[in-house]
Every structure is written in structure tokens, then in C-alpha cells.
Amino acid sequence: MPNEISRNWPAPAKLNLFLHINGRRADGYHELQTLFQFIDCCDMLDFQVTESPELRLHSDMSDVVADSDNLILRAAKSLQQYTGFKGGAEIWLDKHLPMGGGLGGGSSDAATTLVALNQLWNTQLSTEELATLGLKIGADIPVFIHGFAAFAEGVGERLQRVNPNEPWYLVIAPDAHVSTAAVFQDPHLPRNTPKLAIDTLMSQAWENDCQNLVVAQYPQVAKALGWLLEYAPSRMTGTGACVFGEFSSQQQALAALAKLPSDMHGFVAKGMNISPLISRIQHP
């Protein structure tokens, strides 16, 4: 009798509520200070454990499946190799988050894969072990594995739990795919923002050090941000291209969304300090 499909594992988006770049390390990575918060917009994954060791990814997006370097498959394979698990998995991805938007969709998909298969394969790794495994695949993956809003330092792997306000957001996804690698390699990127104590950072106005560079290079991002700033405090998340505005109520965010120009795409989402993935584990 085949194993049942385990359904509806969420892979939530994140926002960088601020992003400061403090310097470049000898290995080429950058020292950061950033604040991660989840939103209730998610990719969804289903898993079926198999006796054979093959790992297969199914998605209606051909460019997701065709990429042999896909983060989901890399995550599954790394867990399989690290634990010596003899079986495999069929994985289905229902993609909702825009790719290349700075919402962390690929990293979140990989994190959910590690967390779900650790449970379904009964490999019993701790959260810390999963986060260490995830960090080798992508710098943002540990925050999704831990599942709490976090102040992050280093390359984003040193996490400290925080509880910022949980406003409603209007997120606009410009029709642009911004390369994170290209942004961090750009000679004009600011790399000298002073490191500050968390209490100072949490109490001052929040900014994104990548924003001016991306806005100058991507007119779609500049247009979206310019429009959104008319309605709410707004900025870019990560290295872009998505921008978000903060609203105190869902009604206000939906009212702004209703005025969104027809050539822009956006959605309303709730800020969350606890990831929907954690809720899925605790209440299967």
C-alpha cells in the first residue's frame, strides 16, 4: 500500500523590514543587519514518501522543475545524504510567490522541504541541525526553519527572536527579476552602514541599503515604490523587486489595493511573527 500524500505544507514569504550592509567579508559574502518578518502569503508543498531513493519534483511551472539546481531538490538530497535515509519522495509545489522578488520564496520552499521530510522520513534532526544544513544551501533558509521573526546578523544566519508589530501590508510585485548576486556585486552598493545595537535599530526609521541602487536600475521598481509611498510608509524588501507598504488595518490596505494601476500586480498580506509552517507542525 503506497504512503499517503502529506498535504498543505506552507512555505511563507518573508519581508526584510530593514536591511543594512555593514561590510564585505574576505570570502565575498556581506555582513548584514536585517529584520525578518513572515507574511501569510505562501507557496504550498505536498510530499509522498517513497521506498525508492529517487526525488521527484512536480510543478505546473516548467522552469521550476527543469532546474536541476532547484533548492527544493537540493534540500531533499542534502537531508537524504546527511541522514543516510534510504527512501525518497515525490514532491508537489504549488507556486504562489513571485520569483526573484526578494520575498524568499525559493529559500522558504527549501526550508519547508527540510522540515517536512525530517518529520515524514522520521530522521529526527533538531531544528538547529536542520538550520545548519539549510545554511549550506542558502543564507535565508535558517530563518524559515526556525520560524520566528528575527533580527539577523552575519550573512543572515545569526538570529535573535523579536516581536515587531504585525501590520497589514500591501505588497507590489513589479515585472522585474532582480538578481541578488548582481546587486551584491555592484560597485555602487553601500557597504559601510555602521553596526548598531538591536534596541537602536528597532526604534529608528527603517531603511534598505539596496533600495536606491535597484530603483536606479529598474524603472518598474521605482514606479511601484513611488506609487505606494503616496499611501503608506513603504520600501523594498531584500534585493527586490517587491516593495511593501504598511497599513494599520486590512481595510486600509485593501482600499489602497483597489486603486492599484492596472499595469501593476499586488496583494494584501498580514505580518506574522510566527511562521505558518510552525503552526502546521504543531497542529497537523
**Residue from 14, 43, 109, 209 carrying the catalytic annotation:** 14
Work out the end-to-end distance of the chain between its first and last CA atoms, rounded to an integer number of angstroms: 22
C-alpha 259 chain-centroid distance:
27
Catalytic residue among 60, 63, 67, 140: 140
Question: 178-181: long-range contacts (C-beta < 8 A, 24 or more apart)?
Answer: 178/100, 178/101, 178/102, 178/214, 178/218, 178/221, 178/239, 178/240, 178/241, 179/100, 179/239, 180/102, 180/238, 180/239
DSSP label at 204? S
Active site residue 14: yes
Active site residues: 14, 140
